[in-house]
Amino acid sequence: MTRTIRLVSLFALLSFSGPTLAAPIHAVLYKNPQCSCCEAYAAYMRENGFDIEIKPTNDLARISQKAGVPEQLEGCHTMFVDGYVVDGLVPADVVKKLLTERPAIAGVTLPGMPIGAPGMPGAKSAPLTIFAVAKDGAPPTVYATE
């Protein structure tokens, strides 16, 4: 009887005191079918707690523009996560900050394909400037610097 009580107690302790693993954050990433850095970015995001669904498209510019990303600030892919647009190679911690803070913006963007950004080879030679994408078409502002 005592042994049974100990086993039940141990099971209860392990069931309720162990670390809780957060469910992955689902995101849909639209990319040019030939872009390999987008595949590397998706792998990086998966390593950082995201569940990435990749959708190849030849209409990426239209998707970015429809999401409100100004043409001069477009990145190499467009991702949608929890009501926000994330354009380009935005670091995972910046995306998590966005999802935690929940600012009243359409999303964030890292223009171009900077060397050393997540998914790009090489060492980062300068800070990455991530811009906020306004919902109302207002000029972009700096959201974060990495």
**What's the pLDDT tens digit per position in 135-144?**
988 888 999 9
d(CA 85, CA 21): 25
pLDDT value, residue 22: 73
In this predicted structure, the answer to whether residue 19 has a pLDDT above a threshold of 80 is: no
pLDDT value, residue 47: 97
Mean pLDDT of 8-34: 66
Containing 99, the helix (H) or strand (E) segment is: helix 92-101
d(CA 144, CA 137): 19
pTM: 0.83
First to last CA, the chain: 59
pLDDT value, residue 36: 83
- 76 closest CA partner among 67, 88, 90: 88
Domain range summary for the chain, segments of one domain joined by +: 23-145
Instruction: Name, in order, each residue with C-beta under 8 angstroms of 32's C-beta and a sequence gap of 6 or more.
Output: 38, 56, 57, 58, 60, 76, 77
Class of domain 23-145: alpha beta
d(CA 49, CA 93): 10
Mean pLDDT of 69-75: 94
Least confident of 1-15, 59-73, 125-139: 1-15
pLDDT value, residue 37: 86
